[in-house]
Amino acid sequence: MGSGASGLASETPGGDLRLPASGLRFSLNQLRTLNSYVDNLWEEDQTGRISTELESAVESLVQRIVDGAGQRDPRFRCCHLIALHRGKKMRSRSLEYLVTLDSLPPLNSGEDCSLQDGPVGYGRIRLTGREADKWEEFLTPSGYLCRDKVVERWVELIARCTSARGGGGSRVLCARAVKHAAPYTHCYLQRGTTLLSNNDRRLAIVEGAAWVMVRVGAGEAEAKLMLGARVQGCNAAAYTNRVPLIHPMALLHYTSAQGGYYAAAVGPPSSLVCGDRSATWQLWQPALEAALDAHCSHLATAARVAGALNVLLDKMREGAYQGTLRVLSRYAASCAVRRRMDRCGAYPAAAARCLPALHAAHHLLLLLDELYSLCERGGIAGYVYPVERGSVVRRGARDADWQFDAACVKSCLQQLHHVAGEDIPPSPSDCLETALLNRWESLNREAKASAGTTPSYSKRQLRYLWRVASELLKCKSMVACENHSTFKANLIQVTSLNQEPIEDLIHVLAIMLDQARDLYLNNFHSKSVGEFDRDLSVYRSKKWNKLKDYYDASSACLIDAVRRDPELRREDLKDPLVVMKNILNWLYKGAKDDKKYLGPVLRPYLDGLFSTSIENSWFLEYFDGKKCVQEFEGLKEYCMGVHDGSLEPCMGLLDAAKKFAWAKAMVDFVDRFRHIDFRLVFPTGEGMAISYPIKLPSRREHSSARTLTLSRRDKAEAKLRLAKRCVLGAFATALVGDRR
């Protein structure tokens, strides 16, 4: 019989691989051979990118067309486009942009505009009051915004605005930057002259498609436009609300999910049961997906695997294997990549969890096998929302085409099996990476063994765990409606002011109890995979349901004991470290006192908390540094000073360039292209902005401000980076030897 541990071990890198869906087997030598093939595919993917000049020209054209639509009908006004393709690890040949309805307030931000839940991954926009009067012609009889009518009107406006004026590619933002682009808090450079003449424009609208296609020149570039509405908050079905605290990437998931939600004008598939189909919008979260892609560098193993899969998809669409892909979309493949990266976080070994280069082919084959299973049998295809494969298919898909795609993907796997015939030894860099990861794993194992059954958490670990828990609370506070477990009703009590810190502690404790139970449930289901005894499977399922009820009852008793503990009231619960320490003490106490129900569930969860915190707590300062909080605060201060008249735009920018990287980059750019006229644009909301011509003074007029040299701190950091590189180089030479 199968087990969860054995099922996971068959996928764990480091040995032979048997693909569960296709049944193909790859030896360790074959996987090592395919690693070099993965590198070749990744290099091919890097060479097929569109040039920056052409992309800028297309963005200027698209922005002018969108501006023209907003001028003809102010309801379709858009302040800036959202470039969905920027930073993608699996980037298509087309440029993809999300056009937001900025005249519509963010959904759920007021009573007049709300997003009501529909099927999983979908919702309906309900308008009342003034907003209903503004959008009256697009409303259904029940008061919902009709998606089909809105798209029809927007496409009509787009088609009539091919010669519109205005716009500029500098107003296009990536998905991660949108949440920082609030009115009065950001600015951008805009060129006064256009880059494309009217003769170079050609607009093509694909009838019946969710995307509006814009082609430039004689097929040189293609852009796809999607209409969407901003959403404040998130849906309870979003993936981020199910990420446990023990996940290695939990902090990244929680911080990236606190904004950037949209209702896109994409209808549900015909296979999905839905009441009002014309008023149903698809829920997107491009900011989270962009943050996950940007977290790893373009040279990381995850990026190489994604790039190799991207090239294989193009080859399958071009007919390089048996048949061609018809319905399998690139987005479905990218969702599979993210699920594979998340599954790597569950590996017990650090060498497997960190995705070294030696395991690239292993993960690529598992990805192709998962796509084969998706085409052959169906299943969950989405990532942020657990939607079926029909919600992420290509345009014009039919159910009968899935079998053709399954045959094509399996033919690709068979071709890879044929290619992997030569034995290639591991490279020195692979040996170094494996040795470092094994040493890191042994250090963590020694630290865990020395801690005993009830380990003592350091301040660094407690600080990390509280940070992750607080970010999770922020995510859950954005959920408009959430299903509660049976014992959470015990949390809803009227408390006095001096008891509120205790209730905050209990809130986090209840979330962790829920997560431990859900992880144990998922592990139980994975143990049933591959079992052929149906009666035994039914018996285990009934047994688990009974244990689940006992676990919830025991959890409620534990929470009640925490609430009645007199010693807890004397603790300083305003200190986050004290709160986190007490939460862990109560979890360990519950696992120790209740060995029948709480113990088996909480022990694996607590082990995961300790292991994750001891590994990731070292990177908390680095993670906060990447958020560039001071840079954004400096940008906001500068823009507010310009708006209230206390700062002159040009001189203020020069002064800001001494302290902030964004200002220095703008000054260097303007100084480099002094022969071009630029304007500083400061958005004020509702599609409006004020602008100033930017003219840098000569060095004689303002020499001190133009002297933009490295500060003493920057020089010290540069020396430290150089020293680290020298030490790592010497360490590599000592470990693998000088092989020149």
Tell me the DSSP string of 130-163: HHHHHTGGGB-TTSBBPHHHHHHHHHHHHHT-TT
Task: Say if residue 2 is exposed, middle or buried (CB neighbours under 10 Å; 0-12, 13-18, 19+).
Answer: middle
How far, in whole angstroms, is CA 420 from its chain's centroid? Answer: 33
**Is a pLDDT exceeding 80 seen at residue 55?**
yes
204-208, 411-415, 417-421, 600-604: range with lowest mean pLDDT = 204-208
Quote the domain boundaries for residue 681.
628-709
Given 3-state DSSP classes, what are the helix, strand and coil percentages for the chain, each rounded to the nearest 5?
Answer: 55, 10, 35
Same domain for 644 and 727, yes or no, is no
**Is a pLDDT exceeding 70 seen at residue 208?**
no
Same domain for 670 and 639, yes or no, is yes
Per DSSP, the three-state class of 93 is coil
Which are the contacts of 486, defined by CB distance < 8 A and separation ≥ 6? Answer: 549, 552
29-43, 331-345, 428-442, 457-471: range with lowest mean pLDDT = 428-442
What is the spatial order of strands in the sheet that 188-191 belongs to?
188-191, 678-685, 688-693
Considering its fold, how many domains does the chain have in total? 5
More confident residue, 578 or 345: 578
Same domain for 236 and 260, yes or no, is yes
32-36, 125-129, 489-493, 595-599: range with lowest mean pLDDT = 489-493
CB-CB contact of 72 with 157 (8 Å): yes
More confident residue, 545 or 467: 467
Percent of the chain residues topping a pLDDT of 70: 81
**Is a pLDDT exceeding 60 seen at residue 207?**
no
**Is a pLDDT exceeding 80 seen at residue 276?**
yes
Same domain for 249 and 148, yes or no, is yes
Same domain for 57 and 201, yes or no, is yes
Residue 441 lies in a domain: no
Residue 104 lies in a domain: yes
**Is a pLDDT exceeding 50 seen at residue 739?**
no
The mean pLDDT of 347-365, rounded to a whole number, is 86
Task: Look at residues 120, 143, 142 and name the one whose alpha carbon lies nearest to residue 132.
Answer: 143
Among 607, 624, 641, give the residue marking a domain's end: 624
Residue 356 lies in a domain: yes
**Is a pLDDT exceeding 90 seen at residue 83?**
yes
Among 401, 432, 463, give the residue marking a domain's end: 432
pLDDT in tens, 143-153: 999 999 999 99
How far is the C-alpha of 492 from the C-alpha of 531, rounded, in Å? 41
pLDDT in tens, 588-643: 999 999 888 899 999 999 999 998 998 899 888 888 888 888 999 999 999 999 99
Please identify which residue in the block is written with the tokens 């087997």: 25
Same domain for 73 and 15, yes or no, is no
Same domain for 565 and 470, yes or no, is yes
CA distances from 634 to 262, 630, 660, 708 (A): 28, 6, 7, 17
**Phi, psi for 695 (deg, rounded to 5):** -130, 115
pLDDT bin (cut points 50, 70, 90) of residue 735 is very low
What are the structure tokens assigned to 272, written together? 């999905």
CA atoms within 13 Å, Cβ hemisphere of 537: 13
Eight-state DSSP code of residue 738:
-
Among 250, 266, 293, give the residue marking a domain's end: 293
The mean pLDDT of 394-401, rounded to a whole number, is 77
Same domain for 604 and 487, yes or no, is yes
How far is the C-alpha of 694 from the C-alpha of 678, rounded, in Å? 6
Task: Look at residues 278, 261, 333, 60 and name the one whose alpha carbon lies nearest to residue 149.
Answer: 278
How far is the C-alpha of 173 from the C-alpha of 295, rounded, in Å? 18
Residue 439 lies in a domain: no
Task: Look at residues 97, 140, 152, 87 and name the one whose alpha carbon lies nearest to residue 116.
Answer: 140
Per DSSP, the three-state class of 363 is helix
75-84, 162-171, 507-516: range with lowest mean pLDDT = 162-171
CA distances from 627 to 229, 621, 622, 631, 655 (A): 26, 10, 9, 9, 23
